[in-house]
Structure formats: C-alpha cells, structure tokens
Amino acid sequence: MSATSVIPAFRRDFWSDDVILDPYPVYRELRDLGPAVWLEANGCWALTQYATVRAALLDPQTYSSASGCMMNAPMNTATKGIMLCSDDPEHLAMRRLFAKPLQPKALIEHRRRFEDLAKERILELLARESFDAVADLAHFLPLAVVTELVGLDQYGRDNMLDWAMGIFNAFGPEDNARTNDGIALAGGVIDYVLNKLDRANMVAGGWGEALFLAADEGRISEQTARMMLIDYLSPALDTTINATSAAIELFAAHPEQWSRLRADPSLIPSAINEVIRLESPIRAFSRLVTRDHAIGDAQLHKGDRALMLYACANRDPRHYPDPDRFDIARGAGDHLGFGQGTHVCAGMHLAKLEISILFEAMLPVVAGFRTGKSERRAHNTLRGLYSLETTMVGAEEL
C-alpha cells in the first residue's frame, strides 16, 4: 500500500521508545487525525477512537485473530492455534475450557486465602519506611498464589513472570530489538511447553492439569493443551501487576480519591475500572482485516493489519468527558482495557479479585501514599511501572 495515497497518516514509529514512554500526547494526535490512521513507519492501520475500536472488537468476521495478533510473521506462525490467535468456533471451544477456573464462582474458593495473605502483606509493608510498590506489592499475589494455581512445574513457576513480559515484547514489529529478544524467549517457552514440561511434575488440581485431563478425554489434543498453557501467562500476571502499581501511583497523586474510597468502599469496582481505563496495561493487539471497507476517510483493504489501540480509545473525549482526569466514581465499566467481544480478557475476574482484595486490606489501615523515585521501561505491548518507591501512611498517624 502506498502511504502517500492514504489519508490520514502518522509518520513516527509507534514502537519507538519516546512514543512508548510518553504515549498520551501521541494518542491525542492519533485520535484527532481520525478513527483509522495509517502508521507510515510500521505499515499498518491504527484504530484510535473508542467507538471504532469497540466496533472492531465486536466484529471478528472483519478483524480476525486467526492469523495472529502480533506484528511479525514468526510469532503469528509460532502461536497459530492458541486461544488468543484463533476465531470461533475453535476459539470458543478452547475458551470454555480455559476460562472455567477463572469465572467468579470458581474463584470464590480462593478468596479467603487471598485475603489472609493480603492482610499480612499490607501490615508488613505499612511497618516499613518504604518499599517498592511493584516488586513488593503488585507482584505479591500473582507470584505467591496464582503461579501455583496455573500449576506449572517449579521451573515454569519460577519463570512465568519473565516469560509473560518477554512474550508480550514479541508482539512488536520484526525490525525492533525488543521484538527480536521476545521472539527468542518465546521460542524457548514454546519448546518448554511442547517438549520439556512433564505433566507428572505439575501441581495436582491446577488449571494446567485440567487442560491435560481434557486432552485425556479427547476434548482437545495434547498439543492444544500444552499451547493453551501459554494463554494463562497474561491473565495470571500482567494486568494485575501493572494495574496495581498504577493504582498506587494514581492514589498518591490524587489523595482525595483515596479518601473518597476509604469513605465509601463500595466504589472499589468503579475505582479498579477507572485505573485500568486511565492506565491501560495493554497498549494494543493487531488483527488481520478480512474485507475492503472504509472508516471515515480511510480505506482499509483485505490483508491489511489493524491495531486495536485500547489505551488510546480509553482516553477518547468523545466517549469519556475530561478523560485525563482520575475519577473513581466515573463509572468506566465499559472501558476497553480488558478488550471486548469474543476475545474479552478471560482473566479479568481474577485481576479484579486480586486488586479488590488488596484495596480491602489497605482501606482500614492506610490513610494515604507517598511515592518517590520511579522507573518505567519501554515495552512493546505492556504499559507498567518497573519500580515505584512508596510509603504507606498509617491511619493512626493522622
């Protein structure tokens, strides 16, 4: 496609460090260019506005996942057939099995354990002069409990976090160093799940074991069961970790919102949605366009790649008034941070449960937060803090 013949167009590299680390002015520019914008440096479309992204996510016939959700051929080929990279009916059959332990009713049995661990950790952190809100808090429940629930062997549990972050880097374009590093790591993960993981060493009763039992019953193939283990990396870890640390940063910057939440804990679900809307953990996934069609002034063609810009859409003033403002009572339950439609995040109930329990543990004893040094590193797909120096202000200190 000739970029000069396409209107509108954006010329900067969407995967450059400066765009990744300071994305919100770029998202504003992209939205103002139009609902569909040609990324000249990357050779793909970006869907930018809330209504357009939501409509595309609800139209898998036009925006297909079956040819991969990544921006490079090696990963789209290597992950073909996993749940993320499939369309219905294959996707739905896998999702029904995959999502069973992630439904609210199934997660109830874990709530008490989560609560006990969270209360203990919050009291421990409250007693410290300072701590890292990423490593010491956001990582805590996912690494303490969820890696065990997924049920890989010890080697897999020890490496899940690094694998998840590496694989998401591999979603980028081929001419990108982070992408290439991620592809190399992803190859090792695929080799592990297909060839090296001995199911006898997995956690009994874990979610992974349930996939193998389904294979034993002939409901899926063993290879499908093994590849589906990769799908558990994201809902188990990244959304929870990045949203938790983002919440601490936001509440430190907006103490009146934390006071509001302490006064009315029923706002916890709304607060979680607002955090994920404002600091969406996933930048974008791509889809393959299956038919020629127009969006505004843009003409998309069969075979094009289109990025679903979740984070960009979630700050669209056409849908959210004053979208850069953090307001826990906004009622942003329709945000696109978990996606939408058939591929809505299967792990969203788990993420919401973990963050809710952390809030519930903090509200009675934490009056506020003070933050110091922070670090954010460029990542092709994920937006999240790498570290955040934090102090909790105890309620008794006021």
Cα–Cα distances (Å) from 210 to 5, 92, 205, 213, 381, in that order, read: 51, 17, 7, 5, 29
- For the chain, how many helices (H) and strands (E)? 18, 11
Per-residue exposure over 183-204, b if at least 16 CB sit within 10 Å of its own CB, e if not: bebbeebbebbeeebebeebbe
Which own/partner contact pairs does 135-139 have at CB distance under 8 Å and 24+ positions apart? 135/387, 137/244, 137/245, 137/248, 137/358, 137/390, 138/240, 138/241, 138/242, 138/244, 138/245, 138/248, 139/241
77 - beta bridge partners? none
* Angle, helices 239-253/348-362, rounded to nearest 10 degrees: 40
Domain that holds residue 48: 3-397
Task: Provide the 8-state DSSP code for 330.
Answer: S
What is the CA angle 365-116-328, rounded to 5?
50
CA-wise closest residue to 112 among 396, 376, 353: 353
Domain count of the fold of the chain = 1
Which amino acid is present at 180? N
Separation of alpha carbons 395 and 398, rounded Å: 6
CB 73 within 8 A of CB 333: no
In this structure, what CATH number is given to the domain that contains residue 7? Answer: 1.10.630.10
Question: For 307, phi and psi rounded to 5 degrees?
Answer: -90, 130
Instruction: Kindly give the confidence (pLDDT) of every residue in the chain, 398 residues in length, as a single tens digit, with 9 standing for 90 and above.
Output: 444 456 899 999 999 999 999 999 999 999 999 999 999 999 999 999 999 999 999 999 999 999 999 999 999 999 887 899 999 999 999 999 999 999 999 999 999 999 999 999 999 999 999 999 999 999 999 998 888 999 999 999 999 989 988 999 999 999 899 999 999 999 999 999 999 999 999 999 999 999 999 999 999 999 999 989 988 876 668 888 999 999 999 999 999 999 999 999 999 999 999 999 999 999 999 999 999 999 999 999 999 999 999 999 999 999 999 999 999 999 999 999 999 999 999 999 999 999 999 999 999 999 999 999 999 999 999 999 999 999 999 987 65
Separation of alpha carbons 318 and 307, rounded Å: 19
Q: Is 304 helix (H, G, I), strand (E, B) or coil?
A: coil
Tokens of 2: 């000739």
284 - beta bridge partners? 309
Residue with tokens 């661990």: 117
Separation of alpha carbons 382 and 134, rounded Å: 14
